[in-house]
């Protein structure tokens, strides 16, 4: 629903993170991590990114989305499991005291810039 | 936060009437269009800042930068509690951190028992739930136990306050919870 706004912010953040000496380089790839419990639809985000990146330094860049599972850990029995349905209770001891180890991410991990005749350069964020 | 029409504004009107002036409060209210809610809330005497997301692209939620701009219209030193009434939507407002100390979701008994499992992130992210419009229970085939069980399946131990914003039934425990949160923050 809000993927266009998120796409525009990704473009803004990625554009600002291009080092001065590499301004003007083409951005080949933006690597993103998105948790399954983030309210983000990857297909919509890719679609919006493609449109919103036109006429920016990210035009034509590929948005690579790694989806992270909702991983939970029980504070009582230390059991770890992947949550695949809306039940946030320990599968082993039934405790409600759990923490989420992953699943809420919406992180730009890196952008990859094309360098003239020198292949790709990773820029960690 | 809540879906549209679950009673956020009425709950806030009645809540503000009970906590003011002991707890000096201000409200930021988000709507895609209209100032109806802000007009209603202003009657309570609390300073109200209306945010229409049209200006920010017709967004489905309030984002942190919108709140940052809205708070410049509020004397933060003069208040104990800042309430943000988010856009009526059970999906997007749950996703975006706006710098709040506590989050509360309103679910009304006309919405169906299984909403918590259909919108798990909202119920996972909130610190308390208000089960509103309980004055309508005699007229509905609503399984209140099932609704509370669904909430606790998503968020075990989350306080659930059964209220009627219309009749103010059940308000005392909710008001006490809210006041204790303010006390915790101030002290």
Q: In the 3-class helix/strand/coil scheme, how is A101-116 assigned residue by residue?
A: EECCCEEEEEEEEEEC
The answer to whether the Cα torsion of A73, A79, A82, A87 is positive or negative is negative
Chain B contacts of A98, Cβ < 8 Å? 156
Q: Is the pLDDT of residue A68 over 90?
A: yes
The tens digit of pLDDT for each residue in A69-85 reads 999 999 999 999 999 99
What lies within 8 Å, CB to CB, of B147 at 6+ separation is: B107, B109, B113, B114, B115, B116, B131
Query: Do the Cβ atoms of A39 and B155 come within 8 Å?
Result: no
As a whole-number percent, the residues of chain A with pLDDT over 90 amount to 80
CB atoms within 10 A of CB A85: 9
Taking an 8 Å cut-off on Cβ atoms, the answer to whether A38 and B155 are in contact is: no
Where are the alpha helices (H) located in chain A, listed in sequence order?
3-16, 42-52
CATH top class, domain B8-173:
alpha beta
Burial degree of A26 (CB within 10 A; 0-12, 13-18, 19+): middle
Radius of gyration in angstroms for the set of CA atoms belonging to chain B, rounded to a whole number: 16
Mutate to test the interface with A, among B30, B125, B156 (most CBs of A within 10 A): B156
Helices B171-186, B8-19: inter-axial angle, 10-degree rounding: 70
Structure tokens at A64: 């690579």
| pLDDT of B5 over the 80 cut | yes
Nearest residue to A56 (alpha-carbon basis) of A33, A23, A34: A23
Query: For testing the chain A interface, which of B113, B116, B120, B125 should be mutated: the one with the most A CBs within 10 Å?
Result: B120
Say what the pLDDT of residue A44 is: 94
Question: Got the DSSP string for A87-105?
Answer: --S-TTT--S-EEEEES--
State the smallest CA–CA distance between residue B175 and chain A in angstroms: 25
Binning pLDDT at 50, 70 and 90, where does residue A121 land? low
Q: Is the dihedral of CA B149, B151, B102, B25 positive or negative?
A: negative
Give CA separation, B41 vs A18, B11, B35, in Å.
46, 10, 10
Of the candidates A1, A89, A96, which has its C-beta nearest B92's C-beta? A1
> How many Å lie between the alpha carbon of A95 and the closest alpha carbon of chain B?
8
How much is the mean pLDDT over chain B?
Answer: 92
Q: Which residues contact B78 (CB under 8 A, 6 or more apart)?
A: B24
Query: Mean pLDDT, to the nearest integer, of B108-136?
Result: 96
Does residue A31 have a pLDDT over 70? yes
- Using a CB-CB cut-off of 8 Å, the residues of chain B touching A45 are none
Please write the tens of the pLDDT for every residue from B129-155: 999 999 999 999 999 999 999 999 999
Cα separations (Å) of B166 from B22, B133, B134, B138, B162? Answer: 22, 7, 9, 15, 12
Helix axes A3-16, A42-52, angle to 10 degrees: 60
Which residue segments constitute the domains of chain A, with CATH numbers given? 3-69+103-124 (3.30.2320.50)
**From A2, A88, A95, residue closest to B60, measured CB to CB:** A2
The residues pairing with B85 across neighbouring beta strands, listed in sequence order, are B29
Q: How confident is the model at residue B61 (pLDDT cuts 50, 70, 90)?
A: confident
- What is the value of ipTM here, to two decimals? 0.79
Report the DSSP pairing between strands A80-83 and A70-74: antiparallel
Report the alpha-carbon distance of residue B43 to residue B124 in Å, rounded. Answer: 33
């Amino acid at each position: 629903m809000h993927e266009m706004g998120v796409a525009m912010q990704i473009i803004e953040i990625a554009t600002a993170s291009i080092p001065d000496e590499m301004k003007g380089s083409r951005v080949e790839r933006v690597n993103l991590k998105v948790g399954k419990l983030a309210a983000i639809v990857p297909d919509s985000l890719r679609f919006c990114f493609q449109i919103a990146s036109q006429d920016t330094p990210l035009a034509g860049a590929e948005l690579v989305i790694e989806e992270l599972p909702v991983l939970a850990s029980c504070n009582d029995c230390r059991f770890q499991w992947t949550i695949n349905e809306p039940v946030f209770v320990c599968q082993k001891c039934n405790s409600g005291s759990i923490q989420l180890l992953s699943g809420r991410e919406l992180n730009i991990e890196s952008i990859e810039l094309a360098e003239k005749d020198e292949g790709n350069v990773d820029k960690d964020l | 936060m809540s879906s549209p029409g679950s009673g956020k504004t009425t709950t806030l009107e009645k809540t503000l009437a009970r906590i003011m002036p002991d707890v000096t409060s201000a409200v930021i209210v988000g709507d895609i269009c209209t100032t109806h809610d802000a007009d209603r809330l202003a009657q309570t005497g609390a300073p109200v800042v209306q945010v229409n997301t049209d200006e920010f692209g017709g967004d489905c939620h309030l984002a942190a930068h919108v709140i940052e701009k809205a708070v410049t219209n509020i004397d933060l030193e003069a208040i104990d509690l800042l309430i943000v009434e988010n856009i009526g939507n059970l999906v997007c407002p749950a996703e975006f951190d706006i710098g709040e100390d506590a989050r509360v979701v309103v679910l009304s008994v006309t919405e169906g028992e299984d909403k918590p499992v259909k919108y798990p992130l909202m119920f996972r992210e909130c610190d308390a739930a208000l089960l509103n419009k309980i004055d309508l229970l005699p007229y509905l085939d609503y399984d209140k136990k099932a609704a509370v069980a669904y909430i606790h399946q998503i968020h075990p131990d989350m306080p659930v306050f059964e209220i009627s914003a219309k009749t103010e039934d059940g308000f005392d425990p909710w008001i006490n919870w809210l006041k204790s949160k303010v006390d915790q923050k101030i002290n």
